[in-house]
Chains A and B, each alone.
Chain A
C-alpha cells in the first residue's frame, strides 16, 4: 500500500521568499511521484513529475522537487515566491504500471504575503 504525508495544512511566505512544501511517501516499490497545484475553483494542474530518471525534477512556474530515496521525500521548492503562487498543492504517489492510479496527500495551502 502507498501513502503520502504532507505535514501541516497551511504555509505562509512573503513575496520573494523561498517556498518549501514537504512531502514524504511510503511505497513498496520504486514509486512515481507528482506535485499538482489547484487554484481556486479549478481542477488540478500538474506541476512536475518524477518517474525514475533524474532525481532533481524541474516543473512549471519555477518549481522544482528532489527525489530522496533515503529520506522517502519529494519536497517542492521555489526560490522566490510570487503572489500568483497562492494555491493548494498536492503531492501524489503511484506505482509504475498500476494504471496510473494515484494516492494523494491531504494537500497544503500556500499563502503569499505582499
Chain B
C-alpha cells in the first residue's frame, strides 16, 4: 500500500513565523501535490511537483513556496505565516495517470 506521511497532524504557529510542512511518500511516485482544504471550498491546489527540483504553481500559490530536493519528500513553506493561512493542509502523491494517494493532513493554526 502507498504510504504518504505528513510530519505533523496538528501545528500551532504565530503570525510572521516561517513554517515548514513536510510530506514523505514511499512508492517512488514522480508527482507530489500540496492542497489546502477549507469548509465550503473543497480542496485547492497550492503547488505540485512532477520531478525532483521541479515545481509548478497551482491555483493558490501566493504566500507559499515548496521544495523538492529528493523524490520522496515534498515540503511546503509558509514564508511569513498569516492568520488567513489557518487551514487543513493535505499532501498527495501519484504516478502517471494513476489516482492520487493522500496523507492524513496537517491542521495548521496561525495565531
Encode A88-106 as 1/0 by CB contact (under 8 A) with B. 0010000011011111111
Stretch in contact with the other chain, from B14-22, B62-70, B74-82, B96-104 = B96-104
The residue of chain A having its C-beta at the shortest distance from the C-beta of B48 within the complex is A101
B12 at interface, CB cutoff 8 A: no
Inter-chain residue pair count (beta carbon < 8 A): 61
Contacts of A49 in B (CB 8 A): 99
Is there an interface contact between A105 and B42, defined as CB atoms closer than 8 Å? yes
How many Å lie between the Cα of A99 and that of B55 in the bound state? 12
Q: How large is the interface on B (under 10, 10 to 19, 20 to 34, 35 or more residues)?
A: 20 to 34
CA distance A104 to B44 in the complex (A): 7
**Residues of A contacting B94 with CB < 8 Å?**
100
A51 contacts the other chain (CB 8 A): yes
Chain A count of residues within 8 A CB distance of the other chain:
24
Please tell me if the beta carbons of A42 and B100 are within 8 angstroms of each other in the complex.
Answer: no
A6 to chain B, nearest CB (A): 8
Asked if B102 and A43 sit within 8 Å, CB to CB, the answer is yes
Q: CB-nearest residue of chain B relative to A109?
A: B39
Return the contact of A32 from the options B45, B97, B104 (Cβ within 8 A). Answer: B97
| Residue picked from B42, B95, B103, B104, most chain A C-beta under 10 Å | B42
Distance, CA A90 to CA B40, complexed state (A): 12
Q: Contacting B31 at CB < 8 Å: which of A41, A100, A105?
A: A100
Most buried by B among A9, A100, A102, A103: A100
Distance A10 CA – B75 CA, assembled complex (angstroms): 33
Who on chain A is nearest to B99 by CB?
A46
Tell whether, in the assembled complex, residue B97 and residue A42 are in contact, meaning their CB atoms are under 8 Å apart: no
A-side interface residues toward B, CB under 8 Å?
9, 32, 34, 36, 41-46, 49, 51, 90, 96-97, 99-107
**17 pairs of residues in contact across A and B, judged by CB atoms under 8 Å:** A41-B9, A41-B105, A42-B104, A42-B105, A43-B90, A43-B104, A49-B99, A51-B97, A90-B43, A96-B97, A99-B31, A100-B95, A100-B98, A101-B45, A102-B45, A104-B44, A107-B42
